[in-house]
Structure 1
Amino acid sequence: MTPHRTIDAWIRSHPAQVDATLAIGLWALLALSTVVLGGMTGTHRFLEFVIGSLQVVPLIWRRSHLLASSAVVTLGCLLQVALVPTFLPTQVTVPIVVYTLAKFGKRWASYAGLCAGMAGAVLATLRYGTVNGQAIGLHLLPSFVGLALIVLVSWTFGDLARTRRLAVRALEDRATRLEVERQQERELAASDERGRIAREMHDIVAHSLSVIITQADGARYASEKEPEIARETLSTISETGRKSLREMRRLLGVLRGDEQASTRPLPTLEDIPELLEATRTAGLEVGYDVQGSPRRELPPGAELTGYRAVQEALTNTIKHAGPAARADVLLRWTSSGLELEVIDDGRGAGATDDNVGAQQGLVGMAERVALYDGRISTGPRPHGGFSASIFIPYTED
């Protein structure tokens, strides 16, 4: 950083020290001119020193106490005009105060400082603009113009600095708001992604483990009396585990951003028969019926939502419906969207104590459906069993 930039940065970051240095420097100049070099009597020198001090000392607080310090400086200038017959070097405080009011004060204070400066130029001209003790108009005019010009230039620079200060503050506020909004967007995106990952992992793991557990229980009972059935059951367990592992690797590959991760398409409604077949191998009898035809295609994400909803409903049936239960899946296309219904004749959701996973799955199912402005209704049936009804509307352009 160049020296002048270093100095500018220090001045901007230490305003109180700068104001104190300015005030002390002017006060020292006042002491030098009125005490050491003064040619008048001691009383006059003391009066000049007191009035000059009123003009320079308040500069220490010209930013922290703007109006109060400006009022004291104005009072000192009025006392000078009334009591001191000559200019004082501390009159330099007038353009400083006018500049400060224009830069840091409110709009009314800025204009008040300009008017006070102009009035001071008139009074100073009338008080000190004389020739041989006589006030002559032609000689007063240049004096007034010079003083007024100093005041006007000071106010103009202060007003420009005020405009720049407000513009910089607006840009800083906007940058702060944008940063906060970006942070909130990142947090929301991370939260949505965590929810999506949780739903995907639950759908993949819960269904596969439910099938594996059911098959393993059956294989254990059949291993002694019917070894052939046990071997078929173990084969189903192995295939289900491999399929679940492939799905898990695909999901983890996507999360890692692995370019070589599996690009196999995500399940759609056309994959529901395959899902039902895998469910039947777990020992659950499942019926399937399709009614109507689609008026238009659903987005791929909506079809995945429908598939996962059926998968979750069947998983809950396997886990909670009890032995010898039956489930029926109905896929109905209407003029407004897709209706899915999965019902069973089991013991209902309250038949077992292991309901935490089911509730988590139902929550994930509701979150998926809500993403596509759909609705879901789940609960025990009046005459036994459990039902899950899902509606996913068409996405209108």
Structure 2
Amino acid sequence: MWFVCNMNTAVAYGIGVTESPSTLTRLVTWPDRHRAQFDAILALVVTAFSLLAVVSNAASLPADAKSTFTDYVIPIAATLVICVPLAFRRSHPTLASALTYSGALAHMLAGVPLVFTADLAVPMALFAVTAYGTKRAYTIAAIGAGAGSVMVAVLFAGTAGYSAALAVFVAIFVGLIFAAVFAFALVRRSRLAEISQLAARAKTLEQERDAQAVQAASNERTRIAREMHDIIAHSLTVLIAQADGGRYAAAADPQAAVRSLETIGEVGRAALADVRRLLGVLRDGTPDESAAPGSFAAPDATMAGGLGVAPTSPQPGVEGLTELIEQMRTARLRVSYAVTGRARRLPPGIGLMAYRICQESLTNVLKHAGPDPAVSVLVAWGASSITIEVSDDGRGASAPSDGVGHGVIGMRERAAMIGANLQAGPKPGGGYRVRCVIPVPTERSQPQSEEIPSL
């Protein structure tokens, strides 16, 4: 009984059954998988058997002892009222038990103490309302079952041929049946509640897992978009500046045009290598301990169209700012670079964030500050932080925006990822300033420090 109840419940809620069920398992669990059909069949069988029993019992009585009303009408009507509600004992347990109890009470009040076998449906109704009904409903049903046991005993005691001892025995026997049914129903109810909680928890965990997967995919798309923006937008800005500058300088200074073309080639190759590395991330996704958090290494492979994926190289950090400044100077941007404090090596993720923020700030100067702006880059090392400040005297604060840029948004996202404080906006008196304070490991925790020269 316990095994059947648990197996039925597990299948009904889809829990604990991972393998293809056997024929026996399917047969055992069929009632819970097809509740309406099973209960209808059960009600039909019990009703038919009870009606047959009523007719057979009445036919076996002597002709002079028969009573159409007490032997046919009352038992048949009571059988229908008691047994038919079994068809919806689980879908509407309170209504079913109320009808069943009413039928049993009616035939007892009519002077018929027992209708065999219809009265066997009364314990079934008690089980149903206790297992599937409300607490109030099964409490009333249990009290009614106890009262019914006493009432049956009283009716037997008042019937000729039955002694008081037999009436007491009947009351105790019927009461024990109801008590056993009620106890099994409580166990069933507790098990159903436990399985329902497990099902709800499993559904919640599944929803959380799906939400985490969606969030992880969104975070990864954002990270890739940020990397693509930092690589491509910066490189294209430098390329456009060099191309425009070389075109205007070609007539007066051919060597300037040559230098611009050389810079275009270098920046283009560097951008291509970065894009190949990023494509390698998307194709393979192998973690690289030397890369920034959330980044991956790209193995050697051949891309579509014959483009090879560049081998993994360390991501740029604060030490790469010198090369970045030189690159911006070749784009005819007047940049001054200063470092204060004691420089030291940073974790790859923090170093990459600092580099990207400075890179994006300089790119924005090149795009929006107007002709010949003066730019200053300050890297200030503190005991537990590093401050990156990029300011210019151009017209970036008043320059019109096309509304499609994501540079400042990307910088804010990067800063938020490492708990940094980023401020970006116009300076008093003109120009634009980006200032980012990044928390870093304290100087004592560093194995060694290294000097980064100012330019």
Q: TM-score, normalised by structure 2?
A: 0.81
2:348 to 276, 286, 300: 300
The one-letter amino acid of 1:373's match is G
1:26 alignment counterpart = 46
State the shift of 1:395 in Å. Answer: 5.9
Q: Are the structure 2 counterparts of residues 146 and 36 from structure 1 closer, same or farther at C-alpha, using a change threshold of 3 Å?
A: closer
Once residues 441 and 41 of structure 2 are traced to their aligned partners in structure 1, the CA distance between those partners, rounded to angstroms, is 70
State the shift of 1:140 in Å. Answer: 3.5
1:153 and 2:173 correspond: no
State the shift of 1:203 in Å. Answer: 0.7
1:175 alignment counterpart = 202
Tell me if the contact between 2:397 and 2:426 (Cα under 8 Å) persists in the aligned partners.
yes
1:70 to 68, 80, 97: 97
Q: Are the structure 2 counterparts of residues 378 and 3 from structure 1 closer, same or farther at C-alpha, using a change threshold of 3 Å?
A: closer
Output aligned runs, 1:266-285, within 5 Å.
Answer: 266-285=315-334
Tell me if the contact between 1:34 and 1:48 (Cα under 8 Å) persists in the aligned partners.
yes
Once residues 333 and 163 of structure 1 are traced to their aligned partners in structure 2, the CA distance between those partners, rounded to angstroms, is 64
List per-residue Cα deviations over 1:136-167 (Å, max 9, x = no partner).
32x34433332222212211221111111111
1:42 alignment counterpart = 68
1:96 and 2:124 correspond: yes
Once residues 68 and 100 of structure 1 are traced to their aligned partners in structure 2, the CA distance between those partners, rounded to angstroms, is 11
1:228 and 2:265 correspond: no
2:435 to 385, 389, 393: 389
Q: Are the structure 2 counterparts of residues 214 and 231 from structure 1 closer, same or farther at C-alpha, using a change threshold of 3 Å?
A: same
Any gaps of 5 or more consecutive residues in structure 1?
none
2:390 alignment counterpart = 342
Once residues 385 and 274 of structure 1 are traced to their aligned partners in structure 2, the CA distance between those partners, rounded to angstroms, is 24
State the shift of 1:297 in Å. Answer: 6.1
State the shift of 1:355 in Å. Answer: 4.3
Q: TM-score, normalised by structure 1?
A: 0.92
1:115 to 132, 139, 143: 143
Once residues 31 and 231 of structure 2 are traced to their aligned partners in structure 1, the CA distance between those partners, rounded to angstroms, is 63
Tell me if the contact between 1:85 and 1:128 (Cα under 8 Å) persists in the aligned partners.
no
The one-letter amino acid of 1:393's match is P
The one-letter amino acid of 2:192's match is R
Structure 1 residue runs of 4+, over 4 Å off? 129-132
2:361 alignment counterpart = 313
1:259 alignment counterpart = 299
Q: Which has the higher helix share?
A: 1
Q: Are the structure 2 counterparts of residues 147 and 297 from structure 1 closer, same or farther at C-alpha, using a change threshold of 3 Å?
A: farther
The one-letter amino acid of 2:420's match is G
Corresponding residue SS for 2:256: helix
Tell me if the contact between 1:130 and 1:140 (Cα under 8 Å) persists in the aligned partners.
no
Tell me if the contact between 2:111 and 2:155 (Cα under 8 Å) persists in the aligned partners.
no
2:25 alignment counterpart = 5
List per-residue Cα deviations over 1:285-307 (Å, max 9, x = no partner).
1101111126x865422221111
Tell me if the contact between 2:74 and 2:107 (Cα under 8 Å) persists in the aligned partners.
no
Corresponding residue SS for 1:387: strand
State the shift of 1:134 in Å. Answer: 4.2
The one-letter amino acid of 1:207's match is H
Once residues 338 and 345 of structure 2 are traced to their aligned partners in structure 1, the CA distance between those partners, rounded to angstroms, is 19
Tell me if the contact between 1:48 and 1:84 (Cα under 8 Å) persists in the aligned partners.
no
Tell me if the contact between 1:208 and 1:241 (Cα under 8 Å) persists in the aligned partners.
yes
Tell me if the contact between 1:23 and 1:59 (Cα under 8 Å) persists in the aligned partners.
yes
Tell me if the contact between 2:380 and 2:386 (Cα under 8 Å) persists in the aligned partners.
yes
Residue correspondences, number: 393
Corresponding residue SS for 1:328: strand
Once residues 213 and 372 of structure 1 are traced to their aligned partners in structure 2, the CA distance between those partners, rounded to angstroms, is 32
Once residues 386 and 275 of structure 1 are traced to their aligned partners in structure 2, the CA distance between those partners, rounded to angstroms, is 19
1:214 alignment counterpart = 241
